[in-house]
Structure 1
């Protein structure tokens, strides 16, 4: 056999293998892969189950990795081993967008799905507790002002912060640093409260104490719910939807005098409310044909509207005009730019 023929045969074999591999990828990627926020997870799971039932595509696979963890995986690159969609309970950070671009993820659509509030909740066996953002900050900050100086947080009981608060040990189960809920809590509670305190010179202080008063409970908010049933002295930080789902066993605290209700969250009156998103990797559109079928199903009025299914499990719908604008952005595969995130 001539060397030319051997080379031609080798090239043909490689080409055939590549074609088979490409077909395998296309078949494998009929199933959408989704990662990200534990807060968005219940909504995404509902849509995924419905999508699997009403289409010929398999039900998407969803991992609850936290917003930061999900976007890190999403931004690792383009290809079959990377997620197609990442859920987020906060907006993508400019630094995350830049990391995506560095790794070749250069065409991303942002899908705004509605609102959620961060609940500060406890076992329903206790009376309701009213709390302010300043009191929450003093309970959870790594350093607090005492006699004009910033010191390691000395408070071990709520009543030490304010006599109106219960005489109970400070024990708060909350999300880890990879969570969008943690990011939002740090911004909307810790930063907002500390900026109003002279001791911090107008700068936001967001470091949470690590001496055991704040307990990192992981990305599964259902575990926090379970722990509050076991430890009725403790509080938990999680998305409002989990409070609504467990209203028979948990009660939420009012924050700055505002109860966590759908109306208060949707209007922005509740001080710890935030927007929810998912991000679509447009470069996977051809290899994963189900991806935009799923995204459009999620954005439908049947899901995120005032009478949508997701409202029934805790999503706070955005106003109609905002829903329509967000829906069109997804339908058009509209790409976000770095300037949009600043």
Structure 2
């Protein structure tokens, strides 16, 4: 090929690449890009390492952004610069689905991988402290009922809420608003407990979190919350049960409403702060990132999410056999998520 023809070919290739970028088509690549939940991150990372070690594809790149943050990135559009998969420790919201559609992300498959609980835990150096959701609510809520009216949360010590609790400063370190764990905590603890005070809140569910220091945002990385509890033995932490299980040598969990967090109680729903976990596939990237589906198939395998799967060993609570089979079939068939599925 002479120099002029070669230059014309290179120029045409560059123009074509630019056009592809403009219309938002994913460029063919071997490496899967994943964002999302810090709670799902350890499970996703385990699968990614196994995938990189046992296939011809490179290990997927995973960024822990929180469920909300991951879904924002995922729903930004189709093409280079957007992730292929997002992890979530809660189900996608209708508003997030609508944003995806608005940005051209119209073919999504939902993958249900199992369960996790939200732990309320402290340093093992302390005595166990059983709590109810109502007591946690009164410790965390921005406005609380007192003498027949709503006031800014006045409680600074646990025994002010209930004299059966210790004379100990209220410090609760938890995830930020971008986290699926935070979403689930607000729904399963705060909103649920506010029903006990429904008259004070006009019959509406209430989940606003105090900002005066009683609640401390600990960041998206649950490991940092765990580290904080080992340094500050007066504090409690809110994070996924899997992190409590992994750190049972330094942390102790509280029973909530009389139920201890554990695999059976979480899977059965007896533990009141249990939630489902997911990842979402952007099928519009499938042709250009075929490794995405092979990674998803490995994640959904019995070897990973089954009763004797590897992920159970690091804290995943497996779903029952039928639920796993249905979820696996949905991923294998690339079933498109519909808005009505989320309503």
Deviation per CA, 1:98-156: give whole Å up to 9, x if none.
00000000000000000000000000000111000000000000000010000000000
Offset, 1:199: 1.1
Unaligned runs of 5+ in 2: 21-25
Q: Where does residue 206 of structure 1 map in the other structure?
A: 207
Deviation at 1:13, TM superposition (A): 5.2
Residue in 2 that maps onto 1:114: 114
Q: Residue 269 of structure 1 aligns with which residue? A: 270
1:115–1:12 CA distance, 2 compared to 1 (3 A): same
- The residue aligned with 1:3 is none
Cα offset, 1:274, TM superposition: 0.2
1:318 equivalent to 2:319? Answer yes
Question: Is the Cα–Cα contact under 8 Å of residues 139 and 170 in structure 2 kept in the other structure?
Answer: yes
In structure 2, the partner of 1:93 is 93
| 2:37–2:87 Cα contact (<8 Å) kept | yes
Aligned to 1:182: 182
Indicate the SS of the match to 1:336: coil
- Where do 1:145-224 residues align within 5 Å? 145-197=145-197, 198-224=199-225
Which residue is 2:23 aligned to? none
Q: Is this contact kept in 2: 1:85–1:278, CA < 8 A? A: yes
Deviation of 1:80 (Å): 1.5
The equivalent of 1:239 in structure 2 is 240
Partner secondary structure for residue 254 of structure 1: coil
3-state DSSP class of the match of 1:178? coil
- Deviation for aligned residue 1:26: 4.6
2:53, 2:7 → 1: CA distance? 45
- In 1, Cα distance between the equivalents of 2:299 and 2:90? 18
**In structure 2, distance between residues paired with 1:9 and 1:289:** 31
3-state SS of paired residue (1:120): strand
Using the alignment, how far apart are the partners of 1:31 and 1:192 within structure 2?
Answer: 42
**Alpha-carbon distance between aligned partners in 1 of 2:49 and 2:281, rounded to the nearest angstrom:** 19
1:15 and 2:16 aligned: no
Matches within 5 A, 1:64-143: 64-143=64-143
Q: Distance in 2 between matches of 1:47 and 1:115?
A: 17
- What is the total number of aligned residue pairs between the two structures? 334
- CA-based RMSD of the aligned residues comes to 1.8
1:195·1:201 contact (CA, 8 Å) conserved in 2?
no
User: TM-score, normalised on structure 2?
Assistant: 0.94
Q: Is the 8 A contact 1:107 1:281 kept in 2?
A: yes
Off by >4 Å, runs of 4+ in structure 1: 8-14, 18-22
Match of 1:303 in 2: 304
Q: Secondary structure of 1:237's partner?
A: strand
Which segment drifts farther, 287-296 or 193-202?
193-202
Report what 2:291 is aligned to: 290
